[in-house]
Structure 1
Amino acid sequence: MSIDSARTHSVEIVPCLDDPRCYRWIIRARSGAVVEHSPYAFVTSNGARISGECWMREHFDEGRGG
């Protein structure tokens, strides 16, 4: 499990519960509350990280008014 910090949100990469060989991302608010999670699993943790970071930028990037 790993966490990358952002201003108000963070992306956490976790093993998939359905298939431990795969990974999912979770976006958490600064308080630790889950605000979004990946709709499907990724074969690599890096793939999950890239998707989670893109999702976070698109939906929660304060610099873009999100």
Structure 2
Amino acid sequence: MLRRSSPAFRIVVIPCTMQAGCFLWTISSADGREIERSRFAHASAYGARITGEIRAREIGIRI
């Protein structure tokens, strides 16, 4: 039987505190330490997640 391990990193989408209705992404390690955060706000949570996934791939992190 295959054992699934928890991912070493995850993308979290959070509301932007500077622009109401916008979202930011963060890439965090399994222990909750923030690796990187988006520089710009995104109009939708989905857009923020996709951009975060792309950035994770660019820096060599598998989500």
Larger Rg: 2
Structure of higher RCO (CA pairs closer than 8 Å, 6+ residues apart): 2
Q: Does the pair score TM above 0.5?
A: yes
- Provide the TM-score with structure 1 as the length reference: 0.77
- Whether the 8 Å contact between 1:9 and 1:60 is mirrored in structure 2 is no
Structure 2 stretches of 5 or more lacking a match? Answer: 1-5
The percentage of aligned residue pairs carrying the same residue is 30
Which residue identity lines up with residue 40 of structure 1 in the other structure? F
3-state SS in 2 of match to 1:60: coil
Which residue identity lines up with residue 11 of structure 2 in the other structure? V
- CA-based RMSD of the aligned residues comes to 1.5
Q: Give per-residue Cα distances to partners, 1:16-59, cap 9 Å, x unaligned.
A: 01123000001001111001000010001111000000111111
C-alpha distance in 2 between matches for 1:37 and 1:10: 12
Structure 2 partner of 1:3: none
3-state SS in 2 of match to 1:17: coil
Which 4+ stretches in 1 moved above 2 angstroms? Answer: none
Where is the helix percentage greater, Structure 1 or Structure 2? 1
Structure 1 stretches of 5 or more lacking a match? Answer: 1-5
